[in-house]
Structure 1
Amino acid sequence: MFGLNIGVKKGEYSILYMSPETLLNLEAWKDILLSSKVYAEKVSLIAIDEAHILESWGETFRPTFARLGELRSHFPCVPFLMLTATCTQHILKQITTRIYLPNLKMYTASPDRPNIYLECKRATDIFKELNWLFQEVKEKGIKARKTLIYVRSLSKGGCLFRDILGHLREYAFHEKRKTHNSSYIALYHAGMNSKDLNYILEEISKPEGVIRIAICTIAFGMGINIPDIDMVIHWGACFSIMDYWQEVGRAGRDGRKAKALYFITPGSLLHASDEMKNLCRSVEKKDSKCFRSAILSHFIGHTKTSQLVCTLQCTDCNCSRCNCCYLCYHECPCRKTQDN
């Protein structure tokens, strides 16, 4: 490690990957950025990935993100590359303010994930709404689909974990061995020790891993890339549309069809942003004809028509609408013909 630090200080590496905390701690800031002639003369690009978190994390959760703007004063002529898949107009304004980018050149792409079917509804009883999922675990065990259940607080996650284990009883364990490492259900949150967190990530990443349902907080987020998550369920309203879409994106990363089910529980919207409240009101009042479009309209790069969605095939009527969202599914002309 000592040799690595010496190499970094001498500028022996072409590319450096660092967290803001590592980059802006006292030693790195003083010895590398402020005192090194090598860095003053040879830095050619500063890239910030997941740039949207400058706005969402920069005040409380990881305040060091708010300091990244200081780099602009020390590298005034160096190009900055900001990367994010979920940027709204509000976030863009915050980013340009924090990083001081008056002449921003922007290239956009649609943040759509067309292989994920979307559904939204109000709910009170998780065992009524997800009885089919728990029944699948009982019947298929290790062959049940991989599912993430996002909750908005650790206390809610703990209660659900306890209740689901109690509901499944001996069916919650592989081959009925009631041990920590044989449970189909896991609870994942930032307060856990690294050994337990690593076990959950490693196990759920395996195609035939024991864990089939992970109840998780926002800690199960960036940097986690599990290709075969079949379903993401939100039990309780997200704070923002950006948070929601980021978490939906954990499903179907291998390109296969996946589902995202959004359950608005009593009281959960009280702590949501105005944009999330407005979204939920609009779909409940049927002001929106498509849940996907109502979500994507908040993001830069969204186009009204998703060409990718139209390439999907529906097992019921071979149309794209049934694969989009629950609103499109119920309004599909083919569906109405079948119902009649």
Structure 2
Amino acid sequence: MEDQLLSLSEMNISACSLTMDGSFFNIVSRGDSFRPSFSKLGELTAIFPRIPHLALTATATAKCIEQLCEILQLRDVKLVTSNPDRPNIYYKIRTRLPNVKKYDKYDDLIKPLCTELKSLKSAFPVTICMDSLESLAYCYQFTEEFLDEDAYDPVEQVPENRIFAMFYKDYTTYNRSDIRMHFRPPTSLEKYMQESGRAGRGGQPSRATLYFNKSDIAANRQGITDEMRRYCKSDDLCLRLLFVKHFGFSETLFEGEKKNFCSSCRNDE
């Protein structure tokens, strides 16, 4: 990347503005562990010092914004923020079996989904499960064997008729409810916001369910933050409010009944 940046300066290229999308997640959160060259994007500011620079992110705290401005070498920053609350997403937390139950812990989560999927077929909510490649490979095999000949709707066995392991390119073209299931919590609220926030992009009512066990939120788990651990253990605090407060806001945008705020608020009633 250094050679490319040098080429830009030597070629005397004219630019009217520079835009970086997903800046927090790619530059601050993942940084050198993902693509070391991302941390050098601030050199663009030195090459193009007199044009506007726009950095976009959906998941950054005040501290992270300071880090981002430093990495990108931004000066005279005008900050535009909006409340990250997603009123159409219902947040839910549940415990799962301990890791010693190597396959039972997956069966316990995936079997109820498969049972409902077999019954509803194409009417089943669009559901995306997130975890390690090993667990997802196991869940794929379990689902394929469980559904057997019911894996297609209509019954003709062609790829476009599969009712699982499908990929939706356009999130605005369907009206069904949308579900994100984490079989294990990510290491930070920023990552969870990024991943769960992909639900309900068309505005349809959706659900984000997070499963965890004691090992998942152990203090010695590499990279896990105190905020993520607190979120998982919050059975008496509003999950939605914890989210927005983490990102510097004091109120949620959701205006419905308390029982629809999150699983913690529903349990309070």
TM-score bracket for the superposition, by shorter chain length = 0.7 to 0.9
1:247 aligns with 2:195: yes
How far is 1:309 from its partner?
0.8
Give the number of equivalent residue pairs.
257
1:1-340 pair list within 5 angstroms: 24=1, 26=3, 28-31=4-7, 33-39=8-14, 43-52=15-24, 53-124=26-97, 125-129=105-109, 131-151=111-131, 153-176=132-155, 182-186=161-165, 200-202=167-169, 207=174, 230-265=178-213, 267-269=215-217, 270-274=221-225, 275-281=227-233, 283-284=234-235, 286=236, 289-300=237-248, 302=249, 304-306=250-252, 308-310=253-255, 312=256, 320-332=257-269
Distance 2:223 2:37 in 1: 25
CA 1:57/1:259 → structure 2, altered by over 3 Å: closer, same or farther? same
Conservation of the 8 A alpha-carbon contact between 2:110 and 2:139: no
Amino acid corresponding to residue 45 of structure 1 in structure 2 = S
Which runs of 5 or more structure 1 residues have no equivalent in the other structure?
1-23, 187-198, 208-226, 313-319, 333-340
How far is 1:86 from its partner?
1.2
Higher relative contact order (CA 8 A, sep 6+): 2
Conservation of the 8 A alpha-carbon contact between 1:251 and 1:260: yes
CA 1:171/1:90 → structure 2, altered by over 3 Å: closer, same or farther? farther
Distance 2:75 2:230 in 1: 31
Distance 2:13 2:160 in 1: 50
Q: Identical aligned pairs, as a percentage?
A: 26
Conservation of the 8 A alpha-carbon contact between 1:238 and 1:272: no
Distance 1:271 1:101 in 2: 31
How far is 1:131 from its partner?
4.6
Conservation of the 8 A alpha-carbon contact between 2:89 and 2:200: yes
Higher Rg = 1
> TM-score with structure 1 length normalisation?
0.67
Amino acid corresponding to residue 299 of structure 1 in structure 2 = F
Distance 1:116 1:255 in 2: 9
CA 1:70/1:277 → structure 2, altered by over 3 Å: closer, same or farther? same
| SS of alignment partner, residue 43 of structure 2 | helix
Conservation of the 8 A alpha-carbon contact between 2:118 and 2:150: yes
> TM-score with structure 2 length normalisation?
0.83
CA 1:183/1:272 → structure 2, altered by over 3 Å: closer, same or farther? farther
CA 1:63/1:293 → structure 2, altered by over 3 Å: closer, same or farther? same
Which runs of 5 or more structure 2 residues have no equivalent in the other structure?
98-104
What is the RMSD of the two structures over their aligned residues, measured on CA atoms?
2.6
Conservation of the 8 A alpha-carbon contact between 1:117 and 1:324: yes
| SS of alignment partner, residue 84 of structure 1 | coil
Amino acid corresponding to residue 267 of structure 2 in structure 1 = H
